[in-house]
């Protein structure tokens, strides 16, 4: 099976977690794009969504979904999003699509985080995928220096986030303690968000494998 076929499988499986009549949190990325398409095809009653990116908002609106600003919402029952890497403790690296900050905010107000990922995303130790860090533009050089001091090799991505910031992709970090690393990087002046989701990891992992969808629950 191709990676896209595995992504479609988990996108379809995530429909079982959609609570009809409730506001749905929607992440960002190619797996989530498949999920949005599957949601539309399912005809499930989703009165409104909260989206983690301009990209997902545009796609949802084009399909007729109402998208609310998070400031209009108290709580979200279910948040569906992909990941770049996920470890056995359900900690994740996210931000390959550059939407990490809004993803982390939406995840923080969601009761259940359903991670949809193809099998290539499951790892024992996070860090093979370059860790994205969203940075205030004037602080790129300063933050890069601090990340080098932590043992990382940061490279500025040719990309501006939905929030008008820059991304540093950091290679070379062996993230054995994701919660500690999340706190350390978030504490660097100029960092908006690190793409480590350990303080608030996933609750459910739907993993697309050639043998079918495997479900892991925390």
The DSSP bridge pattern shows strands 204-209 and 110-118 to be: parallel
Of 96, 152, 154, 190, the one binding ligand 5RP by CB under 6 A? 96
Give me the least distance between CB of 65 and ligand 5RP, in Å please.
19
Task: Report the 10 Å Cβ neighbour count for 125.
Answer: 12
Q: How far does the chain reach from its first CA to its final CA, in angstroms?
A: 27
Burial class, 176, CB count within 10 angstroms (exposed 0-12 / middle 13-18 / buried 19+): exposed
* Pick 14 or 100: Cβ nearer ligand 5RP: 100
> According to the binding rule CB under 6 A, does residue 100 interact with ligand 5RP?
yes
Q: Mask: binding to ligand 5RP, 65-84, rule CB under 6 A, as x and -? A: ----------------xxxx
Q: Is 85 one of the annotated active-site residues of the chain?
A: no
Give me the least distance between CB of 45 and ligand 5RP, in Å please.
25
Q: In whole angstroms, give the CA distance from residue 136 to residue 140.
A: 7
* Pick 28 or 165: Cβ nearer ligand 5RP: 28
Q: In whole angstroms, give the CA distance from residue 124 to residue 131.
A: 15
* Residues facing residue 170 across a β-bridge: 131, 154
Of 12, 31, 51, 193, the one binding ligand 5RP by CB under 6 A? 31
Give me the least distance between CB of 113 and ligand 5RP, in Å please.
12
């Amino acid at each position: 099976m191709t990676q896209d076929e595995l992504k479609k499988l988990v996108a379809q499986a995530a429909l079982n977690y959609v609570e009809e009549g409730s506001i749905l949190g929607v992440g960002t990325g190619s797996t989530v794009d498949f999920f949005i398409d599957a949601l539309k095809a399912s005809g499930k009653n989703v009165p409104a969504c909260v989206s983690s990116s301009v990209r997902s908002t545009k796609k949802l609106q084009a399909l007729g979904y109402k998208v609310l600003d998070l400031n209009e919402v108290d709580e979200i029952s279910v948040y569906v999003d992909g990941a770049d890497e996920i470890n056995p403790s359900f900690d994740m690296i996210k931000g390959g699509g550059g939407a990490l900050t809004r993803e982390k905010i939406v995840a923080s107000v969601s009761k259940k985080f359903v991670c949809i990922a193809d099998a290539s995303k499951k790892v024992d130790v996070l860090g093979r995928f370059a860790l994205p860090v969203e940075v205030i533009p004037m602080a790129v050089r300063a933050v890069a220096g601090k990340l080098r001091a932590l043992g990382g090799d940061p490279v500025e991505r040719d990309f501006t986030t939905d929030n008008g910031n820059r991304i540093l992709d950091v290679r070379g970090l062996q993230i054995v303690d994701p919660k500690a690393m999340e706190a350390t990087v978030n504490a660097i002046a100029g960092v908006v968000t690190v793409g480590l989701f350990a303080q608030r990891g996933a609750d459910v992992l739907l993993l697309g494998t050639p043998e079918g969808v495997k479900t892991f629950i925390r």
